[in-house]
A and B are shown apart, each in its own frame.
Chain A
């Protein structure tokens, strides 16, 4: 009974001090809102990365040059580091040597599943527009390995490889940015340049279906044409260098076994182990670790604002106790014990944080939903994912903060000497 009455009294206190209550709550509202929105952004990024890695296709192994200690930026401009050749690819594609391989494709640029490789991300110009995309020089098998479906036109063919045609298969986003629709894109010119010296002019022969993955912002051209035009040289054995070999392992075959067997296979021709093989799971683990760190970092920053809100509550509560010293004296004179006074002030603090928490949750979830899918400034699309854990946690933390920062002022109030309290004006 006393508890309910205390709640009622606390609510009465707020209605007489509306502005102050609102400002006190604001600190908690901002804190909880920030925790939920930033955690949602972090988790959205994490989910996005996971989807991207999954979107690479399934049962894939990525063979890339081993990262060496003296490696600088890596990539096409660093020819000495290109340790893989088309001979490696041929060996992997040979069923007698690697029967567990369904298909393997060599690649320059694009998404090679490597965190160090150069994705050849450049400005592409077409139809008087420009956009940012990644150039991937590869082979027809890419379509099968990466599950590419076409929205318009065709993928690069064996004929394109043989004739080294300057044709391009572009991602859905590239098509949209430059030409409007996929159908309008086919037959158009697209060009890119590496610095001032070198320009590639390609003809669009196909547009890939939107997948939500990296292919949406990729421009694919025949590997042979790329090697003919881009002077990256040959290996000492006269083979073409490649930046990465992506292997699709046959369905049901253990990826780790395949990884070990491929290592053995490549070791036969490589004098040192100058390559590395990573599976999707490896990539997933790395990227998820990064995303988790990001989420924790964002959460911590937001958590600090929650603590600041709590300090605001403590501040206001202390002012309130001083202001209401006489009231406390009166209450004690008519029979309130220390516990009663303590309960009253703790209730007030907890109710403020609870209400702030509720408003913060609503605003935070709202902000996360609004921000989801929005594209900001440099073309980064924000993905947010509100998790119930972060909502519950932010809410619980706000109540705990109310308790924590409310208890000291409440304790002060409850230990006021009633005589002193009654004497103050």
Chain B
């Protein structure tokens, strides 16, 4: 509880080691009588320090995948190993701590708390971690996104781009290993999109934070070297440096229908 987090000096991270390992991830939503297969047998490895985009049409399962990666949701079937730990087996408290300590979220709609100042927003994750010198850490995180002089502003007093940068500061204040950004630029214009994307690229390059970016805009995906394309809950392409389209389009007969008990388990 009294763990003191210190802001890391930009340090060399052992890049390349496997950090995230998804095996046979299936996610079925049960909306009414019809089960919806949001993710259909996803296998995915993500290395430490990587920056990648997940693209796909609306409804292709990007957010569902992101929520599972971010430990906000559990798969109907399949295993998720994060930094060597089996996420499926963790308790609510362990998951909360994992989210607080290792993962930072950035959302399309910013998801700031309307009543709080920028500084208070950024302090919040530190409160749940029980960190002591959090005002200083929060100010530093705000400074690193260029908003030190706006610390006392509430969300309504900030532009969209500024709000998203507060959200990024909130995501990185705990010095996370991964930043998950679900359409972070979806509500921003081109100019602020550029600023936000450059911030994320810089965090990845300077601090070695693994950045997973969900987007449906190809020019945003262009900021990352690896691009994963989803369609109907399947990975249809995974273009990484030195690799091209390792996953083939699944043919109709290889696509699985969810087993009835698997569908029931999610309800």
Contact = CB atoms under 8 A, between A and B. Distances in A.
A binds B: yes
Interface of A: 1-2, 5, 12-13, 16, 326-327, 329-340, 417-419, 422
A355 B38 CA distance: 48
A163 to B, nearest CB: 90
B59 interface: no
Chain A CB within 10 Å, residue with most, of B104, B127, B130, B174: B127
Contact of A331 (B95, B101, B124, B130): B124
B249 to A, nearest CB: 29
B62 interface: no
Given A1-B1, A2-B1, A419-B67, A335 B111 contact: no
B99 A335 contact: yes
B125 A335 contact: yes
B92 to A, nearest CB: 5
Contacts of A13: 115
A331 B115 CA distance: 14
Contacts of B129: 335
Contacts of A327: 113
Interface of B: 1-2, 67, 70, 72-73, 92-93, 95-97, 99-101, 104-105, 107, 111-113, 115-116, 124-125, 127-130, 132, 170-171, 174
Contacts of B2: 1
A422 B105 CA distance: 12
Most chain A CB neighbours (cut-off 10 Å) among B72, B107, B130: B72
A243 B111 CA distance: 86
**Complex A-B, nearest 6 residue pairs according to Cβ-Cβ distance, in ascending order:** A335-B100, A337-B96, A335-B128, A334-B125, A5-B127, A337-B93
A329 B1 CA distance: 22
Contacts of B127: 1-2, 5
A326 B72 CA distance: 14
A340 to B, nearest CB: 6
A326 B110 CA distance: 12
12 contacts: A12-B116, A333-B72, A333-B99, A334-B171, A335-B100, A336-B96, A337-B96, A337-B128, A417-B73, A418-B73, A422-B107, A422-B111
B115 A2 contact: no
Contacts of A326: 111
B70 A333 contact: yes
B64 to A, nearest CB: 9
Contacts of B73: 417-419
Contacts of A5: 127
B174 A1 contact: no
B169 to A, nearest CB: 12
A335 B174 contact: yes
B92 A418 contact: no
Given A1-B132, A335-B125, A419-B72, A330 B111 contact: yes
Contacts of B116: 12
Given A2-B127, A2-B130, A338 B113 contact: no
A260 B92 CA distance: 76
Contacts of A418: 72-73
B128 A330 contact: no
Nearest to A415: B92
B128 A340 contact: yes
Given A335-B174, A419-B73, A422-B107, A330 B96 contact: no
B93 A332 contact: no
A336 B174 CA distance: 13
Contacts of A332: 72, 96, 99
A185 B213 CA distance: 100
Contacts of A417: 73
Given A2-B130, A334-B125, A339 B111 contact: no
A335 B70 CA distance: 11
B115 A12 contact: yes
Nearest to B2: A1
Contacts of A331: 124, 128
A1 B130 contact: yes
B111 A333 contact: yes
Contacts of B101: 335
Contact of A16 (B1, B107, B115): B115
A422 B73 CA distance: 12
A199 B102 CA distance: 98
Contacts of A336: 96, 100, 128
Counting chain A CB atoms within 10 Å of each CB, the highest count among B2, B97, B100 belongs to B100
Nearest to B123: A5
B113 A330 contact: yes
Nearest to B105: A333
A327 B70 CA distance: 18
A334 B131 CA distance: 14
A340 B111 contact: no
B68 to A, nearest CB: 10
A334 B105 contact: yes
A338 B111 contact: no
A236 to B, nearest CB: 91
A420 to B, nearest CB: 10
Nearest to B98: A335
Nearest to B64: A419
A135 to B, nearest CB: 72
A13 to B, nearest CB: 8
Contact of B97 (A2, A12, A330, A337): A337
Contacts of A2: 1, 127-128, 130
